Copies of this chain bind each other. A is one copy, B any other.
């Protein structure tokens, strides 16, 4: 970030605006004054000590714009202190990632002068978001002007305002110059090159950079699969031995692929300083509530919520609910089968146009019901995960993703595999592609135009919000399932997925830069529960591949007299493959040796420093 450089908008605000805050246009004046005061107030008084300015849009086309739009910025010093508060890790002089401290700022690598450019844009916005989120109520019983919007000590002010609709949204602002540079290195170059992950991380944060890293890694990893798949497809090798060979290759590939990705992501995350950040030390997410108390680890004042209560909520409410939903979706499917059988029997008795149409009715009803159920389930899952009151954003996300994936798994299981999956995913995928194209056309018109701050804010306020990497990972997850579950019977799958992903990279990149509001950076050390999901899928793949091989007519021809023997052999092979897979996963270390050494060195230095500190303390007392 380069503070003070792009002050072409100095007519509007005296600082570089980083975050936009939009309040409802009928917000009471006293609430606004109170909020702005809290944001501007010194930290020692419980404020955020940030800079904030109002943006007044001129009335356009007779329509009055929302007057309550604010931009938030900060002094460089405040940001650096905030970096210490949120616990950023930066590279020290000696090449090791260490917790950043303001007092020691000059000993960190890449810190020059007053520290301009030391923090990335995404980091500055993350720090401001963190400071806003942790603006907690003191002794106010309610928001001034809104006696119904209750507060209690420790409650996040921003969160309460947001849930009551007073705060419409807050989002980080694009930096036009950086964005132009990023998009050039990202998707405007024609020449073949790797993703500029460091630039992406710099601009969008670690979460998104890891997604694009994964996308690229996955695509490259598929190339050998694709290369092997092509001759299988072309020469129609319908041969038992080759099938088995391909299945074994598939298995080894998917295991090694996922294990090596863990190492890659550890290397990325170490370099970005997120691997050493311990979850237990992080500040809680804004939605986390509980009585104000002290964190037993850091000793900081923050809401405290007993984890036993959370466990009870998860195991006594969420898990039974999810299981009930699974049962329900299974039941609905059974009803659908009954209905279809009934429709077919009616048609067979009296085949005419009316009964011919009747044939389609069960499927239509089923599709609509499933769609509605899915929608309801998604809402319920989000509500429940919120109610479980997870302390960290990452564990919130993990539990949410897990719930959604479980329901997806039943859809996969309850639909008769293979055919239905092909039928269900291909349209889904094509439709998503279409949606993307529409967005593309819509936004291309105003891609790179230079706009003054006021118009930029107005434009970005209206952009869609990027809802996180969930859908993107989900697509890759389905593609991975497609490759690993069925590549044995449809060897060209990997080729198609590679082709898809090559365009995917570009469309996702464009989407991030021009279609959506800029998202807040989410520090991430790995791809979270998706790693688990991919691993589970690769285990299921072993089972299905073995089953498919067992079903194939060539294999059956090998054991003409005894089906039992054939099944037992297939099951035995499956067990050996699974055992081999687990051993392979166990043997490959998750973190590369050099990173392990660096992490251990940090830990050792820390323990030594603590010993010395305790000695000093003992001497002083």
- Chain A interface (Cβ < 8 Å from any Cβ of B): 92, 98-99, 101, 103-104, 106-107, 278, 280-281, 296-298, 307, 543, 563-564, 567-568, 571, 575, 593, 596-597, 600-607, 609-615, 618
| Option from B99, B563, B575 in Cβ contact (under 8 Å) with A607 | B99
CB–CB B614/A610 < 8 A: no
Q: Are B603 and A296 in contact (CB under 8 A)?
A: no
Choose among B101, B568, B575 the residue that contacts A611 (Cβ–Cβ < 8 A).
B101
Cβ contacts under 8 Å, A107 to chain B:
614, 618
Q: How far is the CA of A567 from the CA of B570 in the complex (A)?
A: 12
CB distance from A152 to the nearest CB of B (A): 25
Q: Is the CB of B611 within 8 A of A104?
A: yes
Contact between A297 and B104 (Cβ–Cβ < 8 Å)?
Answer: no
Identity of the chain B residue whose Cβ is nearest the Cβ of A606 in the assembled complex: B606
A39 CB to nearest chain B CB (Å): 28
The answer to whether B604 touches A603, judged by C-beta atoms less than 8 angstroms apart, is no
CB distance A298 to B604 under 8 Å?
Answer: yes
Q: Nearest 7 CB-CB pairs, A to B?
A: A606-B606, A609-B613, A609-B610, A280-B600, A609-B609, A606-B610, A104-B615
- Give the nearest-CB partner of A550 in chain B: B568
Asked whether, in the complex, the Cβ of B104 is within 8 Å of the Cβ of A296, the reply is: no
* B103→A604 contact, CB < 8 A: no
What separation, in Å, do the CA atoms of A564 and B551 have in the docked complex?
Answer: 13
Q: Are A103 and B280 in contact (CB under 8 A)?
A: no
Q: Which residues of B contact A106 (CB under 8 A)?
A: 618
CB distance from A292 to the nearest CB of B (A): 18
Given A609-B612, A614-B104: A296 in contact with B99 (beta carbons within 8 A): no
Residues of B within 8 Å of A568, CB to CB, are: 567
Give which listed residue, B281, B593, B611, B613, contacts A307 with CB less than 8 A. B593
- Is B601 a contact of A296 with CB atoms below 8 Å? yes
Residue in B280, B298, B605 whose beta carbon sits within 8 Å of that of A610 in the complex? B605
CB < 8 Å neighbour of A601 from B98, B103, B297, B615? B297
Listed A/B pairs (5) with beta-carbon separation below 8 Å: A99-B611, A104-B618, A281-B604, A297-B601, A609-B610
Chain B residues, CB < 8 A from A605:
610
Q: In the bound complex, what is the Cα–Cα distance between A543 and B576 (angstroms)?
A: 12
Interface of chain A: mostly helix, strand, loop or mixed: helix
A543 touches B575 (CB 8 A): yes
A101 contacts B615, C-beta separation under 8 Å: yes
- Contact partner of A563 among B280, B564, B600, CB < 8 A? B564
Tell me which residues across on chain B come within 8 A of A98, comparing CB atoms: 610-611, 614
A553 to B107: give the CA distance in the assembly, Å.
Answer: 76
Chain B residues near A563 (CB-CB < 8 A)? 564
How far is A564 from B568 in the complex, measured between Cα atoms in Å? 9
Q: How far is the CA of A610 from the CA of B610 in the complex (A)?
A: 7
Closest-CB distance, A116 to chain B (whole angstroms): 20
Contacts A99-B610, A567-B567, A603-B606 known; list 5 others, CB within 8 Å: A98-B611, A103-B615, A104-B615, A296-B597, A564-B567
Residues in B whose Cβ lies below 8 Å from that of A611: 98-99, 101, 104
Which of chain B's residues have a CB closer than 8 A to the CB of A296?
A: 597, 601
Question: What's the Cα separation between A615 and B101 when bound, in Å?
Answer: 8
| Minimal Cβ-Cβ distance residue in B for A594 | B296
CA A243 to CA B307, docked complex, whole Å: 38
Distance between Cα atoms of A92 and B602 in the complex (Å): 22
In Å, the complex CA distance between A280 and B593 comes to 12
> What's the Cα separation between A107 and B600 when bound, in Å?
26
- Beta-carbon nearest neighbor of A605 in chain B: B610
Q: A564-B564, A609-B609 are in contact. Are A278 and B600 (CB under 8 A)?
A: yes
Most buried by B among A107, A281, A563, A611: A611
Min distance, Cβ A470 to any Cβ of chain B, angstroms: 22
CB pair B614–A297 under 8 Å, yes or no, is: no
Which of A307, A567, A609, A612 counts the most B-chain CB atoms under 10 A from its CB?
Answer: A609
B residues within 8 A CB of A606?
A: 603, 606-607, 609-610
CB-nearest residue of chain B relative to A570? B571
- By a CB distance below 8 angstroms, the chain B residues around A597 are 280, 296-297
A559 to B100, CA, bound (A): 68
**What's the nearest-Cβ distance from chain B to residue A55, in Å?**
38
- The distance from the CB of A18 to the nearest CB of chain B, in whole angstroms, is 26
B601 touches A603 (CB 8 A): no
Q: Which residues of B contact A278 (CB under 8 A)?
A: 600, 603-604
- Cβ contacts under 8 Å, A601 to chain B: 296-297
Instruction: Tell me which residues across on chain B come within 8 A of A571, comparing CB atoms.
Output: 567, 571
Give the CA-CA distance A341 to B98 in the complex, in Å: 71
In this complex, which of A543, A596, A607, A618 has the most chain B Cβ atoms within 10 angstroms of its Cβ? A607
Per the bound structure, the CA–CA distance linking A101 and B613 in Å amounts to 11
A307 and B593 CA atoms in complex are apart in Å by 9
Q: In the assembled complex, how far is the CB of residue A99 from the closest CB belonging to chain B, in whole angstroms?
A: 5
Contacts of A615 in B (CB 8 A): 101, 103-104
User: Given the complex of chains A and B, what is the CA–CA distance between A107 and B104 in angstroms?
Assistant: 29
Q: Which of A564, A575, A600 has the most CB of B within 10 A?
A: A600
CA distance A563 to B278 in the complex (A): 54
Inter-chain contacts of A612 with B (CB < 8 A): 609, 613
Cβ–Cβ < 8 Å partners of A103 in chain B: 615, 618
